[in-house]
DNA sequence: TATGGTCCTGCAAACGATTGCACCGCGTCG
DNA sequence: CGACGCGGTGCAATCGTTTGCAGGACCATA
C-alpha cells in the first residue's frame, strides 16, 4: 500500500546491485554504467513506479533540494507574485521553496533561519527588510548561497535582484512635472531600507534634473511601508507645506495612506492634489481614484532571483550578481494637471 | 564551521551512548532515562548548540514534520491570510508547511502531490477546487491525513473547515431586502464547487424566506470565480432581466466583474444597482464604491484547519471533523435603497 | 543467599540512498 | 605471452537518528 518501492526493489528486478541503480538513475553518474544496463534499470524503475526518497538522499548528500524563502508577510500583496515567480522557476529545476513570514521581527527571523538550516535548505532567498548583514553572515557560515530580493547591500556583497528605484521615481516625477506641477512633495520610505533610501535619492535627483527645487519641508520620512505611516507622514507633510499640488509616495501602501489623509481633510484627488505610488500592487487600479503608479515586474523579480540562486547552486562560476530590473509608469486617475478643477 | 554537531558529539561530551542522548532529548522517551543523566545530556546539548537533524530523523521515523498545502494560486488575495493562519499554527507545533500552486490544473496537482509524497509530507491541507476525490484517495493510499479548507465533500468523508455559506448569503439577501429591493439577481459561482453550489442554494432559500420570488432569469452561473467571469455573467444577467435593482455575487471577484459591466453600460452603483460580494478580500473597502460584502474569518480558517490537522496527526481520536465558521456582513458603499438617486 | 523485578543504559540494526574502493574480465600493446 | 589499462559492477561504509533487545546494577523479598 505504501510507496514502499525502494532502490533495492529496483535492483532486484533489474538484477543488479543497488549501487548500480543509483548510478544509472543519477544523471551525472550514468556515464559510469553500461548503456544497456542503464536502460534495463530505467525500465525497472519505471515499471515499479520508483521515486527516490529525497530524505534518504539528503542524508547522504547534505542537499535537500529546498530553498528557504524569507519574506516579511505573505499578506502584503506585493509578495505573492514574487513568490509565484520564485516557486515556478525553482519548481522547474526540481527544487522546492520553504516560505516563512518574519514580520520583520529579528527573533522570528532568527528562529526561522535556525529551523531552515536544521532542515538543510540549500540556500536562502530573502525579501526581508532587516538584519541582512547577520543573515549574510549566517548563510556564509553555513556555506549556503544567499540571494537578496527587492533590496541590496550597498557594497554588493550578496547577489541581489532589485528594480531601478531611481529610474522609477524619475518616471513618476517627470510625469508629474510634465503635467505642470511645481510644488511636489515626497512621502518617503524608511531610510534604513535600501528601497526607501534609493527612492529618496532618486526623488531629489529627478527634481533637480527637472529644474525644480526640493525644499526640505517638501520631504518627510516614514518609519515603515504601511498605510498608517503613509497617512501620518502625509498629514505631517501637508502641515509643513500646505501649498503642495502633488505627492510622490515611495510605495503604494504609503499612497493609500495619503488617500486617507486627503479624504480626512476634505481634499480631492486628483483635483486638489495628485498622487503617485510605487509597485503597482494588485487592485490599485480599482481604487478611487485609480492609482497612478510605477509598475515593477514583480513576478519577474521572483524568477530572476530563482535563476540567480540556481546558478549559484550549480556552477559556482558567478555570473552577474547585481541585477537591475526596469520599472514602467502606469498613468491612471490619481494624477492630473494642477488646479484641474478650477 | 558547519552545524556539524551531531548526536554523537553530545554523547561524547555527556559521556553516554548516542541512544541515550536520543531518549533524553525526545520528550516522550525522557521518562526512560535517569533524571540526572537526562539533565547532563540536556546541558551538553545546550552547550554544543545541538540541533537534531530532521532529515536523519525523518529517514528513520517516516515523518517529516511537514504538511503539504495545496492552493489554486497564491496570487488570489483570498489565500494569503489563510496561509498565514495555517503557517503560524503549524509553526507553533514544530511543523512546516510546503505550499504549492495548482492553478486548478489536474496535472500540476498530480505532479505536486507526487513530489510531496516523495518528500514524505505528513499530511495534506487542500484549498484547491478540483479532484478532491482523487486527492482523498491518494492521501488515504499513502496513509496521510487530509484536511479540506473552504470547501467540503457532500458526504463529509474528509475533515473540512468551511464558512457557513448559506448563512452568509442569507445575511446579504436580508440586507438587500431590508433596503427595499424586490428584484434581486444572483451572479452565482461554479456549481461543481461546494462554495458555489451552497451559496446558490442559500440564495434561493433566503429569497423565499424573505417572501421574494426567485425567477429563473434572475440567476446566472459562472464557470470560475474570476473577475472576467463576473463581468460576463453579470452582462448575461442584465440582458435577461434588465429590471434588477440589486445583485448578490457569490464572491468578491465576481462582484468586481459586476462593477466592470455596470461601468461599461453606464449604470451607477449603488444608485442604479446595488451589489454585494462575498469574502471581504483585502482592499475591497478601497474600491469605488467600497464593496458591501460578507466577511469570512480567513485567518481563522487557516488556524482551525491547522488544528484539525495537528489533531489528526497526534491523537487519532477523531473529534469534530466538519467545522463551520460563521461569517458576518460588512455594509459599505455598494448597497443603497432602490432608486436612491431618483 | 538465591531469586525476581525495576531501572537504566549500551549495543547494534535499521531507515534508503550515495560513493570510494576493489575487483573482474577482457582487449591491447610491448 | 605477460603486464597493463580500462570499462563496468559489486561491496560495504556512511550520513544522523531511532528503537527493540539484552544485560548490568541494585534492591527487596522469601
Is the confidence at residue B160, as pLDDT, over 60?
A: yes
Pairing of strands A219-221, A184-188: parallel
Q: Which residues pair with B295 in a beta bridge?
A: B279, B328
* Cβ distance of B73 and A84 shorter than 8 Å: yes
Q: How many CB atoms lie within 10 A of CB B32?
A: 11
Closest CA to A329 of A282, A296, A284: A296
List Cβ neighbours of B110 (8 Å cut-off, separation of 6 or more). none
Question: Between A and B, how many CB-CB pairs are < 8 A?
Answer: 114
pLDDT tens digits along A34-45: 999 999 999 999
Q: For B24 and C8, how far is CA from C1' in angstroms?
A: 12
* Cβ distance of A287 and B287 shorter than 8 Å: yes
Q: For B156 and D15, how far is CA from C1' in angstroms?
A: 44
* Cβ distance of A286 and B55 shorter than 8 Å: no
How far from chain centre, in Å, is Cα A328?
17
Rounded CA-CA distance A110/A112 in Å is 5
Find the mean pLDDT for residues A181-208.
Answer: 94
Q: How many CB atoms lie within 10 A of CB B305?
A: 29
Closest CA to B174 of B140, B128, B210: B210
Q: What's the confidence (pLDDT) of residue A80?
A: 96
For residue A25, name the pLDDT band (cuts at 50, 70, 90). Answer: very high
pLDDT tens digits along B117-147: 888 899 999 988 665 667 777 777 777 888 9
Q: What's the confidence (pLDDT) of residue A23?
A: 93
pLDDT tens digits along B299-342: 999 999 999 999 988 866 566 688 999 999 999 999 999 976 54
Determine what percent of chain A falls in helix, strand and coil, rounding each to the nearest 5: 45, 15, 40
Residues belonging to chain B: 342
Q: Is A337 helix (H, G, I), strand (E, B) or coil?
A: coil
Q: Is B174 helix (H, G, I), strand (E, B) or coil?
A: helix
List Cβ neighbours of A105 (8 Å cut-off, separation of 6 or more). none
* Preceding amide of A182 cis, omega within 30: no
Find the mean pLDDT for residues B72-93.
Answer: 94
Is the minimum distance from the CB of B51 to strand C below 7 Å? no
Classify the phi-psi angles of A188: left when phi > 0, otherwise alpha if psi is within -120 to 50, otherwise beta. beta
Is the minimum distance from the CB of A1 to strand C below 7 Å? no
Are residues B44 and B8 in contact, defined by beta-carbon separation less than 8 angstroms? no
pLDDT tens digits along A51-68: 999 999 999 998 888 999
- Closest-CA residue of chain A to B78: A75
Rounded CA-CA distance B61/B199 in Å is 43
CA-angle at B86, arms to B222 and A224, nearest 5°? 95
* Cβ distance of B96 and A119 shorter than 8 Å: yes
Bases in strand D with any atom closer than 7 Å to a protein CB: 7-12, 14-20
Which cell numbers in the block locate residue A167? 529610474
Q: For A14 and D8, how far is CA from C1' in angstroms?
A: 15
Determine what percent of chain B falls in helix, strand and coil, rounding each to the nearest 5: 45, 15, 40
Name the phi and psi angles at B275, rounded to 5. -135, 135
Instruction: Give the nucleotide with minimal C1' distance to the Cα of B118.
Output: C16
Name the phi and psi angles at B151, rounded to 5. -160, 165
Distance from CA of B154 to the nearest CA of A (A): 27
| CB contacts, 8 Å: B73 with chain A | 84
Is the minimum distance from the CB of B35 to strand C below 7 Å? yes
Q: pTM of the predicted model, to two decimals?
A: 0.89
Amino acid at each position: 500500500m505504501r510507496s514502499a518501492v525502494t532502490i533495492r526493489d529496483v535492483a532486484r528486478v533489474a538484477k543488479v546491485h543497488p549501487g548500480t541503480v543509483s548510478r544509472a538513475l543519477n544523471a551525472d553518474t550514468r556515464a559510469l554504467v553500461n548503456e544497456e544496463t542503464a536502460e534495463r534499470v530505467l525500465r525497472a524503475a519505471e515499471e515499479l513506479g520508483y521515486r527516490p526518497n529525497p530524505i534518504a538522499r539528503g542524508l547522504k548528500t547534505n542537499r535537500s533540494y529546498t530553498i528557504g524563502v524569507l519574506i516579511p508577510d505573505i499578506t502584503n500583496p506585493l509578495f505573492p507574485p514574487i513568490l509565484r515567480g520564485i516557486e515556478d522557476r525553482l519548481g522547474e529545476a526540481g527544487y522546492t521553496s520553504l516560505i516563512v513570514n518574519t514580520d520583520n521581527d529579528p527573533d522570528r527571523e532568527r528562529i526561522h533561519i535556525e529551523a531552515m538550516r536544521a532542515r538543510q535548505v540549500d540556500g536562502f532567498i530573502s525579501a526581508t527588510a532587516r538584519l541582512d548583514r547577520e543573515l549574510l553572515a549566517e548563510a556564509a557560515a553555513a556555506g549556503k548561497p544567499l540571494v537578496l530580493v527587492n533590496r541590496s547591500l550597498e557594497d554588493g556583497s550578496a547577489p541581489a535582484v532589485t528594480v531601478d528605484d531611481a529610474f522609477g521615481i524619475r518616471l513618476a516625477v517627470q510625469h508629474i512635472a510634465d503635467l505642470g506641477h511645481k510644488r511636489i512633495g515626497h512621502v518617503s520610505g524608511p531610510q534604513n531600507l535600501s528601497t526607501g533610501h534609493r527612492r529618496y535619492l532618486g526623488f531629489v535627483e529627478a527634481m533637480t534634473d527637472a529644474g525644480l527645487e526640493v525644499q526640505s519641508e517638501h520631504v518627510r520620512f516614514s518609519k515603515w511601508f504601511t498605510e498608517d505611516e503613509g497617512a501620518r507622514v502625509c498629514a505631517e507633510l501637508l502641515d509643513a507645506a500646505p501649498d503642495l499640488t502633488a505627492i510622490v509616495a515611495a510605495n503604494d501602501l504609503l499612497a493609500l495612506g495619503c488617500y486617507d489623509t486627503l479624504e480626512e481633510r476634505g481634499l480631492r484627488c486628483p483635483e486638489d492634489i495628485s498622487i503617485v505610488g510605487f509597485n503597482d500592487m494588485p487592485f490599485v487600479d480599482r481604487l478611487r481614484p485609480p492609482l497612478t503608479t510605477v509598475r515593477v515586474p514583480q513576478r519577474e523579480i521572483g524568477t530572476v532571483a530563482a535563476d540567480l540562486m540556481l546558478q549559484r547552486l550549480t556552477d559556482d562560476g558567478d555570473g552577474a550578481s547585481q541585477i537591475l530590473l526596469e520599472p514602467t509608469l502606469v498613468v491612471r486617475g490619481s494624477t492630473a494637471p494642477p488646479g484641474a478643477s478650477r
